């Protein structure tokens, strides 16, 4: 043990970076504290140096028991150059592969003003509606678009990808179906990645799957739900009306995966009688990005609104009766309902959904119809030309995809295409699939003909003939879509740019102020980290591109995996999970597969401390496990005796324990080794929830102190921005013995026989590949020393805040030394009795001070949890503390009767400009104290666009799309 410490120290001393001027390196840009700030803050806390501070906080028996062996940090310029070299190893071929991933033109005004704008990409999930009206409106626009196109009233604010959306839809169908059937039918013409993900999900839920042709299946009482795709993977479009009505007679819930662009021309799933529609919105302006991240949509009928998973934006009013938006129906969700939630899903793909919504606003109803019509027309021309060459097109009905019979010439044609730097899809030796998208033009079609032609020169008349229709007459869309003014008003770039800015200005993102959300780690995403999302050699690669075209990505994955293994002590990672919640689900399935492989089939109990985030039990439920709660003691620590007795009682059935470390209370529990050992002794595996990894990097190692598997939130600790509620990336790391069970299939590959892996968790084996360069850049630029310095600064900052505030507020949980980890909890419950002040009042009053409120009532009701991260300067930390102290003074004034108990600046917060500037001012405190409680605010003021939300109104009058009268 001592050896490893010495090893690590000696490495540090010999590090070449020690001789470099630190100020020139990236870490001084990423970490907000200067060396002087750190000294002042350490001094304030009573420590002589950082080492002493860390040793007082991190338990001895886990501190630095391993060494972080990473390369020396690179400067921003050098790291960009290296990443460019990786990108150069990817080859950009024109893709006609399709299968759910289509080339798209991201409008430049969207790329610059939204995708690459920190005002949009650094904001958080809009739990605090008053400072989130901009992105809530953008998401409402998106939901309105989805409802319109699908013909279903209730759309959510997006899911993680099309395949997982289909799996969620199956689970939802199981909940709502009145059928007694326990089987689920999948039409064989669905994308294979979708079928794979649904099969994995069905297995853990104990649902039997039948795959076949919907035209032939006997839809009887066996099926609680069925899944079809429209158009199908082959490109074919079937009129399913009669099958749908037959299914309904048996109470079978009908789920349609529908191509969002095809719906501009085709009858909506709602019109055809579907109960649930899902699909990808990628082709609405989101780059393919080697498979993700993309927003998937889900929509359903009003009857099922309480069973739909995921975030939903709803329309309500504020305290002044003005229209205001909020997240609706939150009691469905895991953070409230735990194992009874509709899903474990927490994140949406907010940024990508917002982009899709803006794409529709940019083009408008007519513009989108023209894009769809052009694609369909080019496909018809292409098909017509092939017919002239005597090729048989297997699907007479199509939107953008045709399956072409090649008479055993598949390989010749594929090879010829590759010579032209074109990727076609080989379906089999006799069939090729071609998918046309919005980037294709006539010249491209002519080149395709040349590739398919056997002759040197081929005369084709298809161009001069009007090709016949390819959409079934009965399925042509007659209903109007996207008639709301928002979709038909911002077509000039000036107007569009200003609308995007108007919305952005309504919100608090990291470009305005610290976002001190506990357990969310709202740290800097540096500009240089974001750069690569705009590089075509990362952003325009199709996930089914041949292996020799994607070696840059492969190397990036290998290098990032190696870095994360070093940081965590695990031996392998899977990047497949698209969010922390999906990581939890995948990790538990890995544990389950491990037990089963050892013949221990009866292990299905998951122990979860009561303090755990609700996602943990929701994930365990999805993985088919039974949840048993472990008590916590008064200090918030895991009750060891309770753990021991429950582990012992269930030692035959114990599968896993899910432990968050540092705890959800923000404390380094000293017993973590013992906790892990107890679980292991009774045959269980330890899942470490990596949500709080930001307190551990370079200081302790979950793979070393007892974790068997863990997910990392790359969007917290490793700088992928939160995007207003997604993308999230939740790779799982495992120790050696669990490696065989990782979900590591290639896309669309059948598992090899004897394979133990858990199958597909999301559509693409490497998840959201195009945002992984962000974490790669962060680690590359920080290096070993920078990463450790970040952890130290995050912990120091949290303790500084706790220490500055402790004479004003009660700090709820601290570790053995009276110190916290990287976040602290402030208990406000005492003020309820003394001043009628509740946690919401303090949170909303912070908005008047220009801050995003901290996490509210998690993990303890009536408290605020504050996590500053390492990226904030001491000046910003002090500004926040000053705001909290100023609010405490106001509470004192209420307690003493100086301020009224009901009419005071906290109860009426946040104060809008309209409210403060109104001719009538009837409050017992001044306008100035309402708007400018501290003098700096006169120069630096954020005006909330709405007053406090009326949640009751929104919940009782649920509406999830725009109405023209909202204007």
Q: Please state, in angstroms and rounded to a whole number, the distance separating the CA atoms of residues 611 and 588.
A: 19
- Span of 1-9, 25-33, 519-527, 951-959 interacting with other proteins by CB under 8 A: 951-959
State how far the alpha carbon of 92 is from the alpha carbons of 362, 551, 842, 958, in Å: 27, 12, 53, 46
**Cβ–Cβ < 8 Å for 279, 257:** yes
Binding of other proteins at residue 455 (CB under 8 A)? no
Q: Specify the DSSP class assigned to residue 159.
A: B
Number of residues that bind other proteins (CB under 8 A): 10
Distance CA 174, CA 152 (A): 19
Whichever of 135 and 332 has its CB closer to other proteins, that residue is 332
Binding string to other proteins for residues 62 to 91, with x set by CB under 8 A, is what?
------------------------------
Least spacing, CB of residue 890 vs other proteins, in Å? 25
Contact between 640 and 674 under an 8 Å Cβ cutoff? The reply is yes
| Opening angle at CA 958, ends 952 and 962, nearest 5 | 125
307 vs 871, beta carbon nearer other proteins:
307
> Cβ(827)–Cβ(810) under 8 Å?
yes
For residue 880, give Cα distances in angstroms to 127, 389, 505.
20, 72, 21
User: Of these, 956, 964, 965, 967, which contacts other proteins (CB under 8 A)?
Assistant: 956
- CA–CA distances in Å: residue 261 to residues 101, 233, 285, 810: 12, 15, 11, 54
Among 490-498, 736-744, 767-775, 948-956, the segment contacting other proteins (CB under 8 A): 948-956
Candidates 430, 955, 959, 966; binder of other proteins (CB under 8 A) is 955
- Measure the CA dihedral 911/913/919/921, to 10°: 10
Nearest-approach distance from CB 952 to other proteins, in angstroms? 5
- Separation between Cα atoms, residue 388 and residue 344, nearest integer Å: 52
Angle at the Cα of 436 from the Cα atoms of 431 and 439, rounded to 5 degrees:
145
Q: Which CB atom, from 332 or from 477, has the smaller least distance to other proteins?
A: 332
Nearest Cα to Cα of residue 167 among 209, 207, 202: 202
951 sits near other proteins (criterion: CB under 8 A): yes
Binding-site string for other proteins from residue 302 to residue 321, where x marks contact by CB under 8 A and - marks none: ----x---------------
Beta bridge partners of 258: 230
Cα 647 from Cα 142, distance rounded (Å): 47
Nearer of residues 529 and 838 to other proteins, judged by Cβ = 838
Binds other proteins by CB under 8 A, chosen from 10, 331, 469, 926: 331
Least Å distance, CB 39 to other proteins, is 44
Is 335 an interacting residue with respect to other proteins (CB under 8 A)? no
Q: Give the range of 482-490, 630-638, 813-821, 949-957 binding other proteins by CB under 8 A.
A: 949-957
As measured in angstroms, the least distance from the Cβ of 960 to other proteins is: 15
DSSP string, 942-960: PPPSS-SEEHHHHHHT---
Six token digits for residue 321: 């009766």
Query: Cα(171)–Cα(133) distance, rounded to whole angstroms?
Result: 31
Q: Which of 657, 683, 707 is nearest to 600 (CA)?
A: 683
Is the CB of 340 or the CB of 834 nearer to other proteins?
A: 340
CB of 308 to other proteins, least distance (A): 14
Least Cβ distance, residue 330 to other proteins (angstroms): 8
- Residue 336 binds other proteins, judged by CB under 8 A: yes
* Cis ω before 501 (30° cut-off from 0): no
* Residue 369 binds to other proteins (criterion: CB under 8 A): no
Pick 136 or 532: Cβ nearer other proteins:
136
Contact predicate 193/747, CB 8 Å: yes
Residue 745 near residue 587 (C-beta atoms within 8 A): no
Asked if 952 is part of the footprint of other proteins (rule: CB under 8 A), the reply reads: yes
Q: For the CB of residue 314, give the shortest distance to other proteins in the complex, in Å.
A: 12
Span from 336-344, 561-569, 578-586, 912-920 in contact with other proteins (CB under 8 A)? 336-344
**Binding flag, residue 251, other proteins (CB under 8 A):** no
Pick the closer one to other proteins by CB: 61 or 955: 955
Q: How far apart are CA 775 and CA 673, in angstroms?
A: 29
**Of the candidate residues 29, 337, 673, 829, the single one contacting other proteins (CB under 8 A):** 337
Q: Which stretch binds other proteins (CB under 8 A): 185-193, 261-269, 400-408, 952-960?
A: 952-960
To other proteins, the closest distance from the beta carbon of 312 in angstroms equals 14
In the complex, the smallest distance separating the C-beta of residue 857 from other proteins, rounded to whole angstroms, is 8
Nearer to other proteins, 340 or 498 (CB): 340
Ramachandran area for residue 337 (φ above 0: left; ψ -120 to 50: alpha; else beta): alpha
Task: Read off the DSSP letter of residue 485.
Answer: G
626 touching other proteins, by CB under 8 A: no
Residue numbers of the site for other proteins (CB under 8 A)?
306, 331-332, 336-337, 340, 951-952, 955-956
């Amino acid at each position: 043990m001592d050896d490893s410490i010495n090893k690590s120290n000696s490495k540090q001393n010999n590090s070449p970076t020690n001789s470099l001027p630190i100020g020139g390196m990236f870490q001084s840009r990423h970490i907000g504290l200067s060396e002087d700030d750190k000294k002042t803050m350490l001094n304030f806390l009573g420590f002589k140096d950082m080492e002493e501070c860390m040793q007082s906080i991190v338990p001895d028996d886990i501190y630095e028991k391993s060494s972080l062996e990473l390369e020396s940090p690179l400067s921003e310029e050098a790291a960009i150059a290296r990443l460019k070299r990786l990108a150069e190893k990817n080859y950009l071929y024109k893709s006609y592969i399709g299968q759910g991933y289509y080339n798209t033109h991201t409008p430049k005004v969207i790329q610059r003003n939204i995708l690459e704008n920190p005002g949009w990409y650094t904001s958080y999930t809009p739990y605090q509606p008053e400072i989130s009206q901009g992105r809530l409106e953008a998401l409402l626009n998106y939901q309105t678009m989805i409802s319109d196109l699908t013909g279903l009233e209730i759309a959510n604010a997006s899911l993680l990808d099309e395949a997982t959306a289909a799996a969620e839809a199956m689970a939802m169908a199981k909940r709502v179906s009145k059928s007694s059937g326990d089987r689920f039918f999948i039409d064989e013409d669905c994308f294979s990645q979708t079928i794979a993900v649904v099969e994995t999900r069905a297995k853990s839920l104990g649902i039997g799957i039948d795959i076949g042709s919907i035209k032939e299946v006997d839809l009887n009482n066996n099926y609680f739900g069925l899944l079809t795709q429209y158009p199908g993977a082959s490109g074919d479009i079937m009129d399913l009306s009669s099958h749908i009505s037959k299914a309904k007679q048996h109470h079978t819930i009908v789920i349609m995966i529908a191509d969002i662009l095809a719906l501009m021309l085709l009858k909506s799933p709602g019109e055809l009688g579907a109960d649930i529609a899902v699909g990808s919105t990628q082709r609405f302006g989101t780059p393919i990005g080697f498979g993700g991240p993309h927003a998937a949509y889900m929509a359903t009928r009003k009857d099922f609104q309480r069973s739909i998973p995921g975030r939903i934006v709803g329309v309500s009013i504020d305290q002044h009766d003005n229209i205001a938006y909020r997240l609706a129906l939150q009691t469905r969700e895991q953070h409230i309902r735990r194992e009874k939630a509709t899903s474990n899903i927490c994140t949406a793909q907010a940024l990508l959904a917002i982009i899709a919504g803006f794409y529709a606003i940019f083009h408008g109803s007519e513009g989108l119809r023209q894009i769809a019509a052009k694609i369909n027309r080019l496909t018809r021309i292409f098909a017509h030309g092939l017919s002239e060459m005597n090729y048989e097109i297997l699907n007479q009905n199509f939107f953008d995809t045709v399956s072409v019979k090649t008479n055993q010439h598949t390989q010749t044609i594929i090879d010829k295409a590759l010579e032209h730097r074109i990727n076609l899809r080989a379906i089999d030796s006799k069939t090729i699939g071609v998918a046309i998208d919005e980037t294709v033009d006539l010249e491209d079609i002519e080149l395709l003909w040349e590739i398919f032609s056997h002759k040197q020169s081929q005369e084709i008349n298809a161009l001069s003939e009007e090709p016949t229709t390819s959409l079934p007459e009965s399925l042509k869309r007659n209903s109007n879509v996207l008639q709301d003014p928002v979709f038909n008003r911002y077509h000039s770039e000036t107007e569009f740019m200003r609308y995007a800015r108007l919305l952005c200005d309504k919100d608090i993102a990291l470009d305005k102020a610290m976002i001190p959300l506990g357990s969310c780690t709202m740290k800097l995403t540096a500009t240089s980290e974001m750069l690569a999302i705009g590089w075509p050699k990362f952003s325009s690669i199709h996930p089914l591109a041949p292996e020799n075209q994607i070696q840059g990505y492969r190397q990036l994955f290998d290098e990032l995996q190696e870095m994360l293994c070093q940081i965590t002590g695990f031996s392998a990672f899977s990047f497949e999970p698209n969010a922390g919640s999906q990581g939890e689900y995948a990790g538990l399935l890995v544990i389950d597969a491990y037990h089963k492989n050892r013949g221990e089939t009866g292990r299905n109990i998951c122990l979860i401390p009561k303090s755990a985030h609700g996602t943990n039990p929701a994930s365990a439920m999805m993985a088919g496990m039974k949840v048993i709660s472990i008590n916590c003691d008064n200090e918030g620590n895991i009750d060891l005796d309770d753990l021991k007795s429950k582990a012992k009682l269930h030692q035959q059935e114990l599968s896993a324990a899910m432990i968050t470390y540092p705890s959800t209370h923000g404390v380094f529990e000293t017993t973590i080794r013992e906790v892990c050992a107890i679980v292991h002794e009774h045959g269980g595996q330890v899942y470490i929830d990596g949500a709080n990894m930001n307190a551990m990097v370079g200081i302790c190692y979950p793979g070393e102190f007892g974790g068997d598997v863990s997910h990392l939130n790359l969007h917290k600790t490793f700088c992928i921005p939160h995007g207003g509620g997604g993308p999230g990336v939740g790779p799982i790391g495992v120790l050696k013995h669990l490696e065989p069970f990782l979900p590591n299939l290639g896309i669309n590959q059948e598992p090899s026989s004897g394979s133990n892996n858990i199958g597909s968790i999301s559509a693409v084996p490497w998840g959201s590949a195009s945002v992984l360069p962000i974490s790669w850049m962060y680690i590359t630029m920080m290096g070993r020393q920078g990463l450790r310095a970040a952890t130290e600064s995050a912990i120091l900052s949290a303790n500084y805040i706790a220490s500055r505030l402790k004479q004003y507020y009660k700090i709820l949980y601290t570790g053995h030394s009276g110190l916290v980890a990287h976040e602290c909890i402030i208990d406000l419950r005492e003020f309820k009795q003394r001043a009628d002040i509740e946690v919401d009042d303090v949170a909303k009053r912070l908005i008047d001070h220009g801050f995003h409120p901290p996490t509210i009532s998690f993990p303890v009701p009536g408290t605020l949890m504050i996590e500053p991260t390492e990226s904030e300067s001491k000046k910003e930390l002090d500004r926040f503390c000053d705001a909290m102290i100023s609010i405490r003074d106001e509470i004192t004034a209420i307690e003493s009767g100086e301020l009224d108990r009901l009419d005071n600046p906290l109860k009426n917060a946040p104060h809008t400009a309209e409210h403060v500037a109104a001719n009538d001012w009837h409050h017992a405190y001044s306008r100035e104290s309402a708007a400018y409680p501290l003098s700096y605010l006169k120069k630096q003021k954020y005006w909330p666009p709405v007053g406090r939300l009326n949640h009751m109104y929104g919940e009782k009058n649920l509406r999830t799309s725009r109405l023209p009268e909202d204007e």
